[in-house]
Amino acid sequence: MKILVVEDEKGLREALIRSLSGEGYLADGASDGEEGYALICSGLYDLVLLDIMLPVYDGLEVLRRIRGQGLQVPVILLTARSSVSDKVGGMDLGADDYLTKPFAMPELLARIRMVARRGAGSGPDPHIKAGDLSLDPQSFTLTGPGGRSVRLGAKEYQLMEYLMRNPKQILSREQITQRVWGYDAEAEYNNVDVYVSFLRKKIKFVQAASKISAVRGVGYELEEAE
């Protein structure tokens, strides 16, 4: 899961990104409302932590704009203000949750899990499924049709999740690099090839018939098989 942290306080933004990365999430930062809005519109994020007091435009304005665009990405508002009117205003604009600063990291992580589960909207089963593969976002475990499973590393998981959420779609190396390694990463395109080869071995290990196909000169797609 990829999270965007829109927070102008550099120390807090960096601490949040570090903590989220430590929990196995991918996280990027934005330091004002304009940058945050542009990044959210890229569609690369699964959840947004959005501070209310921000330069350029504030968090409520960012929220109003993204919901106005029809973007349904889950948003957790962060604010130093604990005023009831902010909270009501934010929820009215389509925030999924609201956290008053200062907050403890375990509290934030619990809220993220809750909002992510709700966002999945597929009932009690949080597993991501595609063809005969099942992926567990809690344990990073990939399971085949016979129940054989294997644990994925953090990057392997992010790549597998991206492929499984977009089956039968060609994902370019560029899209994959941006999604899995982020905008600032020094990742090279052939990282993608290396990680695809790791995943192919693991798909074989769990005895699944679904496979990652290379589309020459473009990228990869997940071919689903039952």
* 105 or 218: CB nearest Ca ion: 105
Could you give the CA distance from residue 85 to residue 77 in angstroms, rounded to a whole number?
Answer: 13
- Does 51 bind Ca ion (CB under 5 A)? Our answer is yes
Query: How many residues sit in the footprint of Ca ion (CB under 5 A)?
Result: 3
Residue 200 makes CB contacts below 8 A (sequence gap 6+) with: 211, 212
Q: Phi and psi (nearest 5°) for 210?
A: -65, 150
Residue 68 makes CB contacts below 8 A (sequence gap 6+) with: none
Tell me which of 12, 53, 99, 209 binds Ca ion, using CB under 5 A. Answer: 53
Q: What is the largest CA-CA distance in the chain?
A: 55
DSSP 97: E
* 53 or 209: CB nearest Ca ion: 53
Could you give the CA distance from residue 115 to residue 137 in angstroms, rounded to a whole number?
Answer: 14
* 49 or 206: CB nearest Ca ion: 49
- Does 99 bind Ca ion (CB under 5 A)? Our answer is no
Q: Tokens 């997940």 map to which residue?
A: 222
Shortest spacing between CB 114 and Ca ion, in angstroms: 23
Q: Phi and psi (nearest 5°) for 28?
A: -120, 165
- Does 8 bind Ca ion (CB under 5 A)? Our answer is yes
- Does 97 bind Ca ion (CB under 5 A)? Our answer is no
Residue nearest to Ca ion (CB): 53
Q: Rg for the chain (alpha carbons), in Å?
A: 18
Residue 64 makes CB contacts below 8 A (sequence gap 6+) with: 93
Shortest spacing between CB 52 and Ca ion, in angstroms: 7
- Closest by CA position to 177, among listed 157, 192, 199: 192
Could you give the CA distance from residue 171 to residue 199 in angstroms, rounded to a whole number?
Answer: 15
Which segment (48-56, 107-115, 166-174, 208-216) binds Ca ion by CB under 5 A?
A: 48-56
* 15 or 150: CB nearest Ca ion: 15
* 35 or 161: CB nearest Ca ion: 35
* 8 or 28: CB nearest Ca ion: 8
Shortest spacing between CB 121 and Ca ion, in angstroms: 30
- Does 35 bind Ca ion (CB under 5 A)? Our answer is no
- Does 41 bind Ca ion (CB under 5 A)? Our answer is no
Where does this chain bind Ca ion (CB under 5 A)?
8, 51, 53
